[in-house]
Each structure stands twice: as structure tokens, then as C-alpha cells.
Amino acid sequence: MGSEDSSDILHDFFPLMRVYKDGRVERLSGNDVVPADVDAETGVKCKDVEISPDPKVSARLYLPKGAGEGRKLPVLVYFHGGGFIVESAFSPTYMKHLCLVAAEANAVIVSVDYRLAPEHPLPAAFDDSWRALKWVAAHSNGGGDEEWLKEYVDFDRVFLGGDSAGGTIAHGMAMRVGLEGLDGVKLDGIVLNCPFFWGKDPIAGEGDDEGVSTFVENLWRFVNPKTTGLDDPQLNPDKNPEYAKLGCNRVLVYVAEQDPLRHRGRRYTAELAKQGWQGESSEVVEAKGENHVFNLFTPTSDNAMAMVKKLATFFNHSPSSSI
């Protein structure tokens, strides 16, 4: 008597994770990994590097086939999604999409592997991501020990990006750059793909599906036990009094027509302008008929490939286009 059945569920975040009353954590997705290699289709080279042994932070680097053949290349520092609880930089979910982006944009990519909750609750993911960003910046002016960064990267063309929770992290990193600075780099832009933002008071159609609202709130409080709630500025940028200090020059936000998170993504750029952000440009692109982070599940679909081309345009400062 008194012992808990190992099958009793304490937290159910299907299809991502279940946590049982006996403390067992069951990750339902994002467990697979694929080795770093040369992508046969694009010729993009990949390799894994350690950024910090303690705390353990690492990354997968992507180098396009044309590196070294002309001017130095833009670099995208990428943060994976997964609700802060699943996935990694080494997941097959990301390999194809990031190889396509590196090849089309002729850009170096640093895909960051940060610690996950609940073993490492927030702010661990934000702290690890900042550590990784500073590691990248340390290679400007010939510093650092990663040859791909020293030899091929133009540190005046640094970009941050991420999907879902990774978009939340990318925003957080851009805020920190704006508030604290980051020596040796120019943060040219950020790309947020279906970012994981929410708030206490529903906007647009957010209140239509009580199940989604409950899921988001429960997940956020689970990964961030010390949060102030749904209006925590990390989750709801509108509530950050220093929002206008976002430390990048350009913003590109992707939303999907059928994604419950789309309303906050649409609001992001409008609120930036309202609060007086002085950046050069901001844009929201909506993928018609698509759902949350659609490009990761169908990376060669028409809309996903349109995104790849859009990102290439964004990173290389050409006139923008829409899906």
C-alpha cells in the first residue's frame, strides 16, 4: 500500500511526452538521431561540435558546397523546437530542412543542442542558447577554434532562427543582444517559424479551443516552474516593456494558416512597430493550408521549398517575396 502504480500519469503532453507519478519521463517523439555526414542531394557537409562540457551544450554545423569560393557567408544560429522537452539538433526532423536552407542560401548553419526540461527546467534552454551564441561570436576577428566559423563566416551577417519553442528562444536571444550587446557580430535578422508565444488574455481565435489553451498553459508551467504565468515576457513578448530594444535589424515571421499559434505570430511584428522598434523591416508570411512547423514534416513540399527560397532571399538581402 502507498506505492504508486508506474502507469499512473502525472503530466500528459501527448504527442510529445508523458510524466508518470513515479517520476518516470517518457519522451514520445524526438528521440531519433541521424549521424553528421555529407548530404548526397545538396552536397552540404555536417559535423558535430562540443560548445561546453558542463553544462553540456553542443551543436551540429552545416557547411554549403560553395564555401570558400568567394566572399564569406552569412551564418544562421538555429534553435530547434519541441516544446522545450523533446527533439535535438541531431534529429532527422531537422537534417533535411537545414541542408536545403544551407545549400539554397549559401549559408553556414549552427544548430544548437540545448538542455531539455523537465530534467533541466527553464531558463536552462535560454542560458545554453546564449552560451552557444557567445561561442559563435568568439570566432569573429580570428578567435575561437572552430575552423568552419573562422574561415567561412561573415560576422556582419549573423541571423537567429528557430521553430516553435526554438522561435521563442531566438526571440529571447535577440532581446538579450539588444539589451546587453554581443561583441564581434552584427545581428542582421531573426526568423521565427510558427513561434511558441501565448498570453493570459486570448486574442483573435485563441479562445475557441479550450484544449489548446490548457495544453499551452500546462506545458509552459511545467517547463518553467518559476514563471510568472502566461504573461511572462519570455512567452508573451507584448508584456516586455523593453520590446522595442529587440537587437536585430530585420524580422521575418512564418505562420501556418491552420496552426493555433498563428495569431501571436501575426501580432509579433505589429506589436514591434507599435512599441517603437527602429529596425529596417519586419514581415509575416502565412503558409496557406498548413499546420504547425509544416516544413519539418514535409521538407520538399511546395510551401516548404517556398520557405527555403524565402530564407535564402532574407539572408542575402535581396527583395522579398511571398508564398
CATH of the domain at 214: 3.40.50.1820
- Cβ atoms of 76 and 108 within 8 Å: the answer is yes
Active site residues: 164, 259, 292
Inside any domain, residue 321 = no
Inside any domain, residue 323 = no
Read off the pLDDT of each residue in 245-265 and give the average, rounded to a whole number. 97
Inside any domain, residue 320 = no
71, HSE (Cβ side, Cα atoms, 13 Å): 9
pLDDT tops 80 at residue 192: yes
pLDDT tops 80 at residue 183: yes
Read off the pLDDT of each residue in 170-181 and give the average, rounded to a whole number. 98
Work out the pLDDT band at 303, boundaries 50, 70, 90. Answer: very high
Read off the pLDDT of each residue in 193-210 and give the average, rounded to a whole number. 93
143 and 9 in a common domain: no
CA dist 67 and 42 (Å) reads: 13
Degrees, nearest 5: CA angle 256-292-163: 100
CA dist 76 and 164 (Å) reads: 16
Work out the pLDDT band at 319, boundaries 50, 70, 90. Answer: very low
| Per-residue pLDDT at 6 | 65
As a whole-number percent, the residues of the chain with pLDDT over 70 amount to 96
User: Which carries the bigger pLDDT value, residue 66 or residue 146?
Assistant: 146
Work out the pLDDT band at 323, boundaries 50, 70, 90. Answer: very low
| Per-residue pLDDT at 1 | 38
Count of structural domains within the chain: 2
100 and 116 in a common domain: yes
Q: What is the pLDDT of residues 69-105, one digit of tens each?
A: 889 999 999 999 999 999 999 999 999 999 999 999 9
Inside any domain, residue 215 = yes
Sheet of 9-13, strand order: 9-13, 17-20, 25-27
210 and 235 in a common domain: yes
119 and 59 in a common domain: yes
Task: Round the average pLDDT of the chain to a whole number and report it.
Answer: 95
| Per-residue pLDDT at 142 | 84
116 and 10 in a common domain: no
| Per-residue pLDDT at 4 | 54
Contacts of 170 (CB under 8 A, 6+ apart): 79, 160, 161, 162, 190, 191, 192, 195
47 and 157 in a common domain: yes
Q: Judging by beta carbons within 10 Å of its beta carbon (0-12, 13-18, 19+), is residue 179 exposed, middle or buried?
A: exposed
226 and 137 in a common domain: yes
Inside any domain, residue 184 = yes
CA dist 319 and 313 (Å) reads: 7
Read off the pLDDT of each residue in 129-148 and give the average, rounded to a whole number. 96
28-33, long-range: CB < 8 A, 24+ apart:
28/86, 29/82, 29/86, 29/87, 30/82, 30/86, 30/87, 30/88, 30/91, 30/93, 31/86, 32/91, 32/92, 33/88, 33/90, 33/91, 33/92
Inside any domain, residue 26 = yes
123 and 214 in a common domain: yes
16 and 79 in a common domain: no
Inside any domain, residue 322 = no
| Per-residue pLDDT at 70 | 86
Work out the pLDDT band at 5, boundaries 50, 70, 90. Answer: low
As a whole-number percent, the residues of the chain with pLDDT over 90 amount to 92
| Per-residue pLDDT at 12 | 97
CA dist 203 and 212 (Å) reads: 13
Domain encompassing residue 138: 37-315
103 and 198 in a common domain: yes
139 and 212 in a common domain: yes
14 and 116 in a common domain: no
